[in-house]
C-alpha cells in the first residue's frame, strides 16, 4: 500500500504537431530514474483549442505541461500569471498548475541555454568579453536574456532582416547592438562567444555562411541547432581549434526546471539520457 501514498503526477507537452517532441522521452526517463509515480505524455492540441486544452489541465489533474510550436506565444494571453522571464522572452514554454487551479506560465529556455553553455565550456566567463548572436527570432530572445543576465558586457546582434535585430536591440537596452547581416564576419573580432540562433545549418537547410577568420582562437562557438549534432558551423570552429557547445544541451537543460516544478526534484542529465536522446537524432 505504501507506494499509493505517493501521488500520481501527470504532465505533458502541447504542440501541433507534437509527435516529433523528445520531451516525453526525457521526462519519462527522469520519472523512472527517480522512482516516481507519474507520466509525461504528448498532447496534440490545435491552435484554436489551446485555451480549452490549457483550462482542462487542472480538471484532469495535471501538474502542468510544456508548450511547443505553435503555442508558445499565444499562451501569454491565456494564462493567469506570467513570470517576468517569460514576458522578457515573449513566450511560455512551461505551464504550472497552481494549488488554486490557476495557471502560471514561465520560460526555462534562458536557463537551459546558459546551463548548457557552462556545462560544455566551464572556462567561459560571461563578463570577460563581448558576444555575437546571429538571428533575431524566438530562440534569439531566450539566448539574449540568458547572456544579459549572466553579465555579458556587449552583444552584437546580426540578423538577415535588420529591422528585427534593431527592434530587439531597442527592447533589450544598450547592451545589445544591432549590426547589419553583412557585418557578421567582421563583428567576430574580439568576440568571446559566437551563438547561432538561426535555423541555418539544420538538417535539410543551407549551412550558415560565415567566415570565422576574425574570431579569436579561444572564443566559444555555440549553435542551438541540434540536428545534426555537429553543424557545419561547429565543424568549422573545431577545425580551427575553437571550443564549441552543441545545441542539444539547451534542449536537455530547459527540461530540468520544468520537471522540478511538477515532480519536485531537479534532475541531472545522465550519460544514459544523453545517449538515449542522441540515438533519436
Q: Binding residues for ligand ATR, per CB under 6 A?
A: 135-140, 159-161, 164, 197-200, 206
Grid cell of 240 as nine digits: 580551427
- In the bound state with ligand ATR, the residue whose beta carbon lies nearer, of 70 and 153, is 70
Cβ atoms of 24 and 40 within 8 Å: the answer is yes
> Measured from the CB of residue 62, what is the shortest distance to ligand ATR in angstroms?
25
Give me the least distance between CB of 90 and ligand ATR, in Å please: 10
174 a catalytic residue: no
Q: Which residue among the candidates 72, 164, 174, 218 is catalytic per the annotation?
A: 72
Q: To the nearest 10°, the Cα dihedral for 216, 219, 224, 230?
A: 80
Report, in Å, the least distance between residue 281 CB and ligand ATR: 17
Least distance between ligand ATR and beta carbon 60 (Å) = 29
Q: How far is the CB of 141 from ligand ATR (least distance, A)?
A: 8
Judged by beta carbon, residue 140 or residue 254, the one nearer ligand ATR is 140
Hey, what's the torsion of the CAs at 199, 111, 159, 245, to 10 degrees?
-60
SS (HEC) of 54-110 = HHHHHHHCEEEEEECCCCCCHHHHCCCEECHHHHHHCCCCEEEECCCCCEEEECCHH
Q: Pick the closer one to ligand ATR by CB: 36 or 110.
A: 110
Residues in the chain: 281
Q: Which residue number has the CB closest to ligand ATR?
A: 137
| Grid cell of 123 as nine digits | 572556462
Tally of CA atoms within 13 A in the half-sphere of 177 that contains its CB: 13
Indicate the residue among 110 and 200 with the shorter CB distance to ligand ATR: 200
Q: Considering beta carbons, is residue 57 or 157 the nearer one to ligand ATR?
A: 157
Q: DSSP secondary structure string, 210-258?
A: ---TTS-TT-EEEE---SSSS-HHHHHHHHTT--EE-THHHHHHHHHHH
Which residues does the annotation mark as catalytic? 72
Amino acid at each position: 500500500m505504501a507506494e499509493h501514498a505517493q501521488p500520481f503526477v501527470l504532465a505533458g507537452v502541447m504542440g501541433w504537431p507534437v509527435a516529433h517532441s523528445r520531451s516525453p522521452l526525457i521526462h519519462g526517463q527522469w520519472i523512472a530514474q527517480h522512482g516516481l509515480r507519474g507520466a509525461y505524455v504528448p498532447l496534440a492540441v490545435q491552435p484554436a483549442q489551446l485555451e480549452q486544452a490549457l483550462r482542462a489541465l487542472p480538471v484532469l489533474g495535471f501538474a502542468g505541461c510544456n508548450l511547443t510550436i505553435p503555442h508558445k506565444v499565444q499562451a501569454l494571453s491565456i494564462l493567469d500569471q506570467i513570470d517576468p522571464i517569460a514576458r522578457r522572452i515573449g513566450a511560455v514554454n512551461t505551464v504550472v498548475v497552481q494549488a488554486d487551479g490557476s495557471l502560471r506560465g514561465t520560460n526555462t529556455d534562458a536557463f537551459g541555454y546558459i546551463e548548457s553553455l557552462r556545462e560544455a565550456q566551464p572556462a567561459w566567463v560571461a563578463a570577460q568579453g563581448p558576444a555575437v548572436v546571429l538571428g533575431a527570432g524566438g530562440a534569439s530572445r531566450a539566448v539574449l536574456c540568458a547572456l544579459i543576465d549572466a553579465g555579458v558586457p556587449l552583444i552584437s546582434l546580426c540578423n538577415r532582416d535588420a529591422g528585427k535585430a534593431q527592434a530587439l536591440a531597442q527592447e533589450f537596452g544598450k547592451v545589445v547592438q544591432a549590426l547589419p547581416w553583412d557585418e557578421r564576419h567582421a563583428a567576430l573580432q574580439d568576440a568571446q562567444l559566437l551563438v547561432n540562433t538561426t535555423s541555418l545549418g539544420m538538417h535539410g537547410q543551407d549551412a550558415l555562411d560565415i567566415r570565422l577568420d576574425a574570431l579569436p582562437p579561444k572564443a566559444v562557438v555555440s549553435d542551438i541547432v541540434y540536428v545534426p549534432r555537429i553543424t557545419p558551423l561547429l565543424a568549422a570552429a573545431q577545425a580551427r581549434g575553437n571550443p564549441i557547445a552543441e545545441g542539444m544541451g539547451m534542449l536537455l537543460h530547459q527540461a530540468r526546471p520544468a520537471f522540478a516544478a511538477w515532480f519536485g526534484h531537479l534532475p541531472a542529465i545522465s550519460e544514459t539520457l544523453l545517449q538515449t536522446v542522441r540515438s533519436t537524432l
